Amino acid sequence: MCGIVGYVGYRNLESVLLVGLERLSYRGYDSSGIAIISDGELSYWKTPGKIHELEKLLQNMSIQGHVGIGHTRWSTHGEPNEVNAHPQINAPHKIAIVHNGIIENYQSLKSKLLSEGFLFRSQTDSEVIVHLIARYLQDNLLEAVERAMLDLEGTYAFAVIAEKEPDKVIVAKKGSPLIIGIGKNENFISSDLNAVIPHTKDVIYMDDMDIAIVESQAVLFKKLGGAYIEKEIHHITWDATSADKNGYDHYMLKEIFEQPTIIRNIISKTIDGDHIKFDSLRMSNEELIKTTRFIIQACGTSWHAGLVAKYLMERYARVLTEVDISSEFRYRQMITGINDIVVAISQSGETADTLACIREAKSKFFKVLSFVNVQGSTIDRESDGIIYTNSGPEVGVASTKNYVAQLVTLYLFTLYLSHLKWSISSNDLVTMISELKRIPDYIDQILEQKESIRAIADKYYQHREFLFIGRGLNYPSALEGALKLKEISYIHATGYAAGELKHGPIALIDEHLPVVCIAPQSPTYDKMISNIQEVRARKGKTIVIATEGDHSIEEFADDIIRIPHVSEELTPILTVIPMQLLSYYIAVKLDCDVDQPRNLAKSVTVE
């Protein structure tokens, strides 16, 4: 959450900072600002609102300079306004900082600094950092930063510039991500890859307690209170253009339509003839075979993917699989087994709760296997084993393509493990792989129904409440459908296991409630039909997702969306597609900000 950029070099400073902020705006977008040093003088501009408000503010200025930092904010402490926006400034010492994270002891630090005469203007926790640095600044900025870090508790990635040392940006990290992009006679700072990849593919990931002194000709790294260190340069293969809209109205729509291609890519990377391979796995087959329990933990949409994986792993690999929400998992007393593996699922690889869980798990000597999209992210680097979900940069705040990529990758992992354990035969494996290969074409067929799904959205968009129901593997799909709708349209939506309907939620049903019923052909199909009838009997409106050729279901459906026939285990990959489109068109009809819904941020790096 919150995006940090920084630049030292000879390009147009304003444009590097603004383009960087624009590319990080999915991390938070309630206010933004930049600070620069030009001819030895510090200047800064900041404003509430999205990045284009900052662009407007800077429109007629001619900003010169070679050193600058910028920030796009997702508020934690203090409402989004100009004063609370970053950079935070210490005016007497002409120092500016941008910060991502939460300073947990800021109240006590603030009281102390106030008693010493420091003036606070904002309600942010971040402001203590800049005053602490000012407090310690005598001859050397680095020394002041190090002394300030010793006082700080909590998490941070921050970048600081000061008139006293006008040619550099000093950055420090503890708990929040920070990346240095290495250029020729220029260097970049960013809280994630997206702001760096248009300029350079060579990056250095900072670790906790690392400090970097970034100048145009060099970047020096050291540990807090320790010696200077060498850091490895990683070469990134991500393409900058994959984070553009490519003519679509919104990133979310573009990402929904990218899904068939992404699955084709995953299949071609992972399947070699009749074999499945995970190049990055970093775990031996022996370790996987002897696993007696997988404990999956994840948040939000990634948690839904984990729920689907539980069904798959238990059904095919015959391994006990638990699934927990990361923020809950951390606080229960885990019973550890010597052959347990903790599995983390995360698009960003930076989600604070998920990361905290893997650290907790490792401290208890669990092995950690993670399914991550963003290569080089903290979860990637801290896990014992890794499998990439390979969906490319996902920019829309509501996760779509990466969810589907997670489902496909978890399915492939299940097949891989099941075959290792001989719980499925080679023939089964071949059949299952060949069915998976047809999925991208099936998704194309669903996407062709976009106009009829848009018509359903037009019919129901004014309802203030929706229910989503499904069974078995499609119970998580119901949760995911409801989450998509509520996060981008602000309509209250609940996902339920259809069998639970009569244990409470049925009380909600009347002629005003649309119920999305996920009813593909499956062993629980008849039970699902009974649940749909229960809805109809109470005059609820049914939007049914059903298999092509299933005509008997039509009499129970006010509206119907078709998916091609596939084996039950693959249905969640298809049933989610119409729900993504339905949510998208409802949100567009309501004139909501689809790609940047209020209060949300793409990567949740605070607990």
**Which residues are designated catalytic?**
2, 602
**Cβ closest to ligand F6R, residue 127 vs residue 255:** 255
How far does CA 456 lie from the centroid of its chain? 29
Separation of alpha carbons 177 and 351, rounded Å: 10
Q: How far is the CB of 346 from ligand F6R (least distance, A)?
A: 3
User: Which region among 212-220, 248-256, 347-355, 414-422 touches ligand F6R (by CB under 6 A)?
Assistant: 347-355
Distance between the two ends of the chain, CA-based, in angstroms? 10
Q: How far is the CB of 475 from ligand F6R (least distance, A)?
A: 17
Tell me the C-alpha distance between 138 and 156, whole Å.
23
Minimum CB distance to ligand F6R, residue 601 (Å): 8
User: Based on CB atoms, which residue is closest to ligand F6R, 200 or 494?
Assistant: 494
* Residue 353: CB minimum distance to ligand F6R, A: 8
Of 313, 368, 375, nearest in space to 344 by CA: 368
Counting DSSP H helices and E strands in the chain, the numbers are 18, 27
Spatial distance between the Cα atoms of 326 and 299, rounded to a whole number of angstroms: 6
Segment interacting with ligand F6R, rule: CB under 6 A, options 94-102, 183-191, 220-228, 348-356: 348-356
Residue 45 CA to residue 337 CA, distance in Å, equals: 54
354 binds ligand F6R (CB under 6 A): yes
**Contact status: 603 vs ligand F6R (CB under 6 A):** yes
Residue at shortest CB range from ligand F6R: 300
Minimum distance between the CB of residue 434 and ligand F6R, rounded to whole angstroms? 30
Q: Which stretch binds ligand F6R (CB under 6 A): 284-292, 346-354, 384-392, 511-519?
A: 346-354
In the bound state with ligand F6R, the residue whose beta carbon lies nearer, of 195 and 299, is 299
Residue type for 108, please?
S
- Assess 604 for contact with ligand F6R (CB under 6 A): yes
| Selected range binding ligand F6R among 80-88, 239-247, 345-353, 559-567, rule: CB under 6 A | 345-353
Smallest gap from Cβ 331 to ligand F6R, in A, equals: 18
Q: Which is nearer to ligand F6R, 93 or 381 (CB)?
A: 381
Distant-in-sequence, close-in-space partners of 93: CB < 8 Å, separation ≥ 6: 133, 134, 137, 162, 163, 164
- Rule CB under 6 A: say whether 259 interacts with ligand F6R: no
What does the DSSP assignment read for 319-350? -EEEEEEHHHHTTS-PPP-TTEEEEEEESSS-
25 or 90: CB nearest ligand F6R = 25
User: Which residue in 347, 414, 489, 575 binds ligand F6R (CB under 6 A)?
Assistant: 347
Q: In this complex, which beta carbon is closest to ligand F6R, that of residue 176 or of residue 603?
A: 603
Pairing label, strands 367-372, 385-388:
parallel
* Cβ proximity to ligand F6R, 84 vs 351, nearer residue: 351
Q: Which is nearer to ligand F6R, 127 or 480 (CB)?
A: 480
Sequence-distant (6+) residues with CB within 8 A of 146 are 211, 224, 225
In the bound state with ligand F6R, the residue whose beta carbon lies nearer, of 256 and 483, is 483
- The helix (H) or strand (E) run that includes residue 93 is none
Site string for ligand F6R, 365-404 (x = CB under 6 A): ---------------------------------xx-----
Query: Do the strands 88-90 and 492-497 form a parallel or antiparallel pair, or are they unpaired?
Result: unpaired
Q: What is the DSSP string of 227-262?
A: -EE----EE----GGGGS-TT-SSHHHHHHHTHHHH
SS3 24: coil
Least separation in angstroms between residue 476's CB and ligand F6R is: 12
How do strand 210-214 and strand 219-223 relate by DSSP bridges?
antiparallel
SS3 579: helix
Cα angle 29-33-34, degrees, rounded to a multiple of 5 = 140
What are the tokens at 113?
Answer: 């600094």
Q: Report the phi/psi class of residue 175: left, alpha or beta, with left for phi > 0 and alpha for psi in -120 to 50.
A: left
**Taking CB under 6 A as the criterion, which residues in 452-511 touch ligand F6R?**
483, 487
Which residues 84-103 are close enough to bind ligand F6R by CB under 6 A?
none
Binding residues for ligand F6R, total number by CB under 6 A: 15
Distance of closest approach, residue 100 Cβ to ligand F6R, in angstroms: 15
The Cα–Cα gap between 64 and 11 comes to: 10
- Output the CA torsion sign for 40, 44, 50, 56: negative
Per CB under 6 A, which region of 26-34, 343-351, 424-432, 491-499 contacts ligand F6R? 343-351
Of 11-19, 31-39, 219-227, 341-349: span binding ligand F6R (CB under 6 A)? 341-349
Residue 346 within binding range of ligand F6R, rule CB under 6 A: yes
Binding letters toward ligand F6R, positions 281-310, x by CB under 6 A: ------------------xxxx--------
CB of residue 397 vs ligand F6R: minimum separation in angstroms?
A: 6
Of 90 and 354, nearer to ligand F6R (C-beta) is 354
Judged by CB under 6 A, the residue of 75, 84, 194, 351 near ligand F6R is 351
Q: Which of residues 157-216 bind ligand F6R (CB under 6 A)?
A: none
CB of 252 to ligand F6R, least distance (A): 10
DSSP 398-448: S--HHHHHHHHHHHHHHHHHHHHTTSS-HHHHHHHHHHHHHHHHHHHHHHT
Gap between the Cα atoms of 554 and 4, Å rounded = 52
Residues near ligand F6R, by CB under 6 A: 299-302, 346-348, 351, 354, 398-399, 483, 487, 603-604
